[in-house]
Structure 1
């Protein structure tokens, strides 16, 4: 999958998250569940893990479990039970190794890669926690818009540092514009949120862009979804700082 195609798909997924967050909690939770499943499909070949089936199952269970827990939590803090879900995912990662019948080659790499994939999937629940908090709708829409714009700009062929600056600036501008348009939301806060999202998008692009595995569709699928899922927890942390 070419860089331009990956950028467009990431932008589309970010737009879907924005629309779902605007519509309501349960559509947003459904969108996050889809993101989790996409990560579960693409993560094992992206990380070149030896037990793809087991890793996919663990990542899917961790992500879907976290989505359910955060969505159904009745009181703040909505992420209170998330460590329990992630701890269970770590245990499942070890249990998955027990069913292997290939001599358990690259055991440490397999376990650590599975746990990392579970963390990526669990991060998607940040979108849900943000949506349920103060000014949640505005934060979700602003961050998703900044992510979509930054994902498109990152596909432009520029020198590394110029590309980082362009991506960060465009995401910040998108966040500020969203802050101006959305009612009762500060454009300065939107711009700062956009800066954080832009830096993340640029960093992930630099990390994964030259991987040979991206010639195949499943690793490419994970790479296009990963910025959207990871941004979830980033938005939760930055959003709590900006709006309390």
Structure 2
């Protein structure tokens, strides 16, 4: 038996095994799409809280007060040195044990991802602050501008323009990693796709749909970020 004959005899069984039927999940598509709201809400809240905390941590890291620098460095090392899913599990399962109050999967996810993203974004913001010309700080100090006002009106605006692409990448990573909240029961896109898969006893179709949804969301965020970045550049 030559190779071509073997392939022809093997092909029909293989094709028969590819039992794909997207019609089976058609009634469940609105249910899966409903997870977009949860995914976007989770990403927005995590990004906002994480960004605010990252700014505070970046100030600590450039501070001349050593205990603040030590705290920020230890915080960053802990959250960068442990798996994200472990952090999520600890916050979700340990919070009721320690406080006596239950916490939802969405709340646990927002807390975890905000704390985790702050560790990474603070390094980015710190680098942007240090990249600003020292002469501008000296000029501001010469003019009697206070440190808080100098950071708010002079240093941070210039730093953000330089680090905007890096912050966008962090936001995109946050959006994709949001699928991890499905492990603690949050009804996001990934979790709903898994529920449909378990009900229909098919996995490729609902998971593929979830992948398409995440891809569209990421591409939309990327296009929005590019337009925002161009607008920021034109305002220089």
- Tell me if both proteins adopt one fold, taking TM over 0.5 as the criterion: no
TM (norm. structure 1) is 0.30
Bigger fraction of residues in helix = 2
TM (norm. structure 2) is 0.31
